[in-house]
Homo-oligomer: A and B are copies of this chain.
Amino acid sequence: MISVVLLGAGNVATHLYKAIKKSNYAIVKQWYNRSYSAISSYANETETIDNLNNIKDADIYIMAISDDYISNFSKALPFENRLVAHTSGSVSIHDIDKKHQRAVFYPVQTFSKDAELNFSDVPICIEVTEKKNLQFMKDLCSALGCTSYRITTEQRQTLHLSAVFVNNFTNQLYRIAHEISDAKSINFDILKPLILETAKKVQDISPYMAQTGPAKRNDNKTIKRHLKQIESEDHKTIYELLTASIKKTHGQR
């Protein structure tokens, strides 16, 4: 049984807590947060603490906290030579104080408070400073039902960048479509199945193969008409840039 002390109470920490709780191979030995109120409702399920001096022995300490606090917080942990991981996509593993055995446990997913999510679908990217901890990290991921990938720091930072494209930027395109359709009193629900299908398609075929539409087939008549329809200059610029990007990818000009 893998014992975990969970540090932090944000979205990642909360989803991770629930995933560990469901596992038959891992337990949350303690859950720490500096503000106790965020975890107090779990006090009857696990040991909840807000004082680092009460922290117990465990196989791993997972800091699911803001990037900016990782370095100082790891220094403040009142022990050494135990396995301490952060969950960040961008912070270096070396930001964890060197008095610890260090690791990264980076779940590549977007977590929100309310959205239910099957944690076992979340890919976990792992890094370790001591090779002996690699198998342990893999076992931890297995205990949660997750697929793990050993990656380098550079790869993790590249993933974090890629995630901005497929998550934040994609969501902004949804937002723009929402604005464009709202302006003509169109129910955004009409676009939702298309949004979902677009994401489903690339689960099986590459985005290159999945591409369709006027830019891909170099249909400049439609592109011109679309540009005429767009009322916002900002949206027009984005339309032009992404159209050019698709044309370049697919050898049009």
**What 1/0 flags go to A97-115 for Cβ under 8 Å of B?**
0000000000011101001
Shortest distance between the CB of A108 and any CB in chain B (Å): 5
Q: Given A171-B202, A180-B161, decide whether A193 and B242 contact each other with a Cβ distance below 8 A.
A: no
Are B173's CB and A122's CB within 8 A?
Answer: no
Q: Given A166-B174, A245-B176, A248-B234, decide whether A181 and B201 contact each other with a Cβ distance below 8 A.
A: no
Are A249's CB and B194's CB within 8 A?
Answer: no
Are B211's CB and A172's CB within 8 A?
Answer: yes
Are B125's CB and A246's CB within 8 A?
Answer: no
13 pairs, CB–CB < 8 Å, chain A vs chain B: A108-B191, A117-B197, A163-B191, A163-B194, A164-B215, A164-B226, A166-B198, A167-B194, A171-B210, A174-B207, A175-B206, A188-B206, A192-B202
Per the bound structure, the CA–CA distance linking A188 and B212 in Å amounts to 20
**Is A169 in contact with chain B by the CB < 8 A criterion?**
yes
Per the bound structure, the CA–CA distance linking A166 and B191 in Å amounts to 8
Are A159's CB and B241's CB within 8 A?
Answer: no
**Is A186 in contact with chain B by the CB < 8 A criterion?**
yes
Q: Which residues in B have their C-beta under 8 angstroms from that of A207?
A: 171-172, 174-175, 177-178
The oligomer's copy count stands at 2
Are A242's CB and B172's CB within 8 A?
Answer: yes
Contacting residue for A155 out of B67, B108, B165, B184, CB 8 A: B184
Q: Which residues in B have their C-beta under 8 angstroms from that of A23?
A: none
7 cross-chain pairs, A with B, having the tightest CB-CB distances, nearest first: A199-B199, A168-B213, A174-B207, A175-B207, A162-B177, A165-B177, A169-B242
Chain A: residues with CB nearer than 8 A to chain B?
A: 67, 90, 108-110, 112, 115, 117, 121-123, 125, 149, 151, 154-155, 157-178, 180-181, 183-204, 206-208, 210-216, 222, 225-226, 229-230, 234, 237-239, 241-242, 245-246, 248-249
Shortest distance between the CB of A197 and any CB in chain B (Å): 6
Are A168's CB and B208's CB within 8 A?
Answer: no
Per the bound structure, the CA–CA distance linking A52 and B14 in Å amounts to 64
Per the bound structure, the CA–CA distance linking A184 and B237 in Å amounts to 30
Are A181's CB and B159's CB within 8 A?
Answer: yes
Are A170's CB and B168's CB within 8 A?
Answer: no
Q: Given A161-B226, A177-B162, decide whether A172 and B246 contact each other with a Cβ distance below 8 A.
A: yes
Are A249's CB and B197's CB within 8 A?
Answer: no
